[in-house]
Structure 1
Amino acid sequence: MKCLGTTPPFRNQDGEILPTSIAEISYVRLGGFDQWVMIRGENIANPILILLHGGPGFPEMRLFRTFNAALELHYTVVYWMQRGTSKSFDRRMPSSSLTIEQFITDLNELVDLVRKRFGKDNVALYGHSWGSVLGVLYASRFPEKVAAYVGTGQIGEWAAFETTSYRFVLAEAERRQHRKAIRELRAIGPPPHAFWDMVVERKWITNFFGVVRGMSLWRFARITLGGPEASLFDLPNILRSQFVTPKVMWQELMGVNLIEAAPVLQVPVFFFIGRHDRVVTAETSVAYFDVLQAPSKTLIWFEESGHEPPAEEPAKFNALMVELVRPVVVASSS
């Protein structure tokens, strides 16, 4: 069951819809399958920002809408649910299409679509976690279409962060003397993990630290399923996409190494890194940043954040996206 949802228009003080604005939701044919895309912006003359969520299969649209809607005043924001994710989950989609290469192809079709529609030469990309892999690989392949790249939960070498994440959560379980966690974590052993072993490790990270630092699982669920764009009817596909999509892709993901695959980017780069990220551990993000070559690169620490800086320190994230990133994007587009 597809639940398109609705999204409120931008209005002036008299309640009239702003003629320069856009607020729409549709299914867009990308890579041969319909995928959910929402586009919102107060002024379509603003630069385009495409949000690449994590996972794969982890929808973050409602987190962005809850904490980062202010960006819609400064960008035309494209919220895309990637194939195999929530509203874009389709049981008819063959598992053979869940590859990194296919996601790059889907993204390229989306980029070309919005560039043509809004008359722009390029777009800004924001990638979180798995989305940071997709964003970097896309920017590496199509630099002429990317004005700037911003990454959080930035992956460098996938196997490296899995190893450091496991070590950390096991040490935390031992510090807390949590016998069940210790037993389960020792049973799976250190990476490389099979998919379901990884699920066990992530379970304990979530148990100890939450999905979003400082946010209860109940509040996270309410945000994810709340608002006019979302629906309780999304829940079955959200649950399916949490396991089906990453399980299919797991072996390919474990082999990702951006240090080797994308040591050079020909676009301005920004890493916004949560100091307390226990999933994609911060030291592995920094290891990639240190070797990455780009026309300009900036790393900013989010001292109160874990894996989700946009939701954990939204005021800081939004301000940086407007005051630091946007001028670079505008200059790259001119």
Structure 2
Amino acid sequence: MILAILALFILALSLLLILISPGKLATLKNKNGEIIQTAICEKVMLPINDTHLGCFIQSENTNNPVLLFLHGGPGSPELPLLDIKDPDKRLEQIFTVCYLDQRGAGMSFNRSIPPESMTMEQLVADNWAVTNYLQQRFQKERIYILGHSWGSALGLKTIEKYPECYHACIGTGQVTQQLPSEKLAYDYMFHHATEIGDKRALRALKKYDSNSADFPSLGYITSIRLSLMNKYGIGLEHKKHTMYSQTMRILFFKGYTLKEKGNYLRGSLFSLQCLFPDLLLDNMPTTFKIPVYIIHGEHDYQVSYVLSKRFFETMEAPAKDFFTFEDSAHSPFIEEPERFIQIIRKLL
């Protein structure tokens, strides 16, 4: 009897997962719940360089400027996390947005991707190829680029090499010097855990030495680091202290098939293994030929707010600005979407 009930439960769960994983997004709607007739909502696989890259292209009107959205991670596509129901708070009202699943991530993951092709240089080349596709398809001489976290580093590298393709670059959770950032975060978590008497966190942190040559190790990154940052409100979101909501958003995201949801996890681990060393290199450019804008949460330790502000002060660009979000940590576009969109509108 127990085995029969268990089998029925597994069957029901499997059917539910299939039902919530159609691999297709719903068409954009206005505030009244009506389908926007001029909108597009597409899932596209592009033959780029030596692989195929998946992306979602969404817009209320394709006459809008075009924006290439570069996710963080490495290896963590973010459209599934953007649970923004108010049309006035979404990027698609302003732009035709291309949410690219980068090489090795999400629906762009496949087991045949050579690990040696997973470099920042290669991903920059991929960005340029996707940009060319967007320029030709939507008849735009230049587009905008917006990068979050790891994607913000990719954004700066991309506009440094191909400035003629872009109007401006916007970075949020802007990566600058990630190795010092990781050490600042470790010190903060250690001192905070000491202050509040979080003995479990202290035991976990003491397993790692922030002054060792291999810090931060992949084991540290995938275990205690992210969970503790979220617990203390200095990680993905300042006011949500667990990964539960992010995990559920990915699980219930309709744009992915069940297989692609599995590849989301596989791609995240694969990308971290291959690309995190690139993220730790202190080689961010500081001089740019197009405007650069940075939006950063004041409580962010996943990527240091202090180091980002310091980087901005030394940065040279035709136009630049830095926006502090006092109620955000690492994801201002999720935590304070209304103000985020207001700023983006002013920058156009």
Q: Same fold (TM over 0.5)?
A: yes
2:279 matched residue in structure 1: 253
Q: Compute the RMSD of aligned alpha carbons.
A: 2.2
Query: Quick one: distance in 2 between partners of 1:67 and 1:267?
Result: 32
- State which drifts further: 104-113 or 3-12: 3-12
Query: Quick one: distance in 1 between partners of 2:86 and 2:330?
Result: 16
- When residues 27 and 71 of structure 1 are mapped into structure 2, their CA distance, relative to the original with a 3 A threshold, is same
- State which drifts further: 237-246 or 264-273: 237-246
Query: Quick one: distance in 1 between partners of 2:154 and 2:327?
Result: 26
Match among 146, 157, 160 for residue 140 of structure 1: 160
- State which drifts further: 282-291 or 246-255: 246-255
- State which drifts further: 231-240 or 29-38: 231-240
Question: Can you list the C-alpha shifts for 1:86-112, whole angstroms capped at 9, x where unaligned?
Answer: 221111111111100110011010000
- When residues 22 and 194 of structure 1 are mapped into structure 2, their CA distance, relative to the original with a 3 A threshold, is same
1:124 matched residue in structure 2: 144
Contact 1:263–1:293, Cα closer than 8 Å, also in 2: yes
1:313 aligns with 2:336: yes
Identical positions, percent? 28
Match among 59, 66, 71 for residue 84 of structure 2: 66
Contact 2:71–2:149, Cα closer than 8 Å, also in 1: yes
2:11 matched residue in structure 1: none
Query: Quick one: distance in 2 between partners of 1:50 and 1:68?
Result: 21
TM-score (norm 2): 0.85
Which 5+ residue runs of structure 1 have no aligned equivalent? 327-334
Match among 265, 270, 278 for residue 244 of structure 1: 270
- Whichever of the two has the greater Rg, that structure is 2
Query: Quick one: distance in 1 between partners of 2:332 and 2:262?
Result: 27
1:229 matched residue in structure 2: 255
Secondary structure of 1:255's counterpart equals coil
AA matched with 2:52: D
Secondary structure of 1:270's counterpart equals strand
Q: Across the two proteins, how many residue pairs are aligned to each other?
A: 319
Query: Quick one: distance in 2 between partners of 1:201 and 1:65?
Result: 25
Query: Quick one: distance in 2 between partners of 1:206 and 1:241?
Result: 22
Question: Can you list the C-alpha shifts for 1:51-106, whole angstroms capped at 9, x where unaligned?
Answer: 11001111211223536862212111111111111221111111111100110011
Match among 282, 296, 299 for residue 273 of structure 1: 296
Secondary structure of 1:39's counterpart equals strand
Deviation at 1:128, TM superposition (A): 0.6
Query: Quick one: distance in 1 between partners of 2:86 and 2:263?
Result: 24
Contact 2:144–2:168, Cα closer than 8 Å, also in 1: yes
Contact 1:46–1:75, Cα closer than 8 Å, also in 2: yes
- When residues 248 and 15 of structure 1 are mapped into structure 2, their CA distance, relative to the original with a 3 A threshold, is closer
Match among 26, 29, 43 for residue 44 of structure 2: 26
1:42 matched residue in structure 2: 60
Query: Quick one: distance in 1 between partners of 2:331 and 2:216?
Result: 24
- When residues 118 and 173 of structure 1 are mapped into structure 2, their CA distance, relative to the original with a 3 A threshold, is same
Secondary structure of 1:300's counterpart equals strand
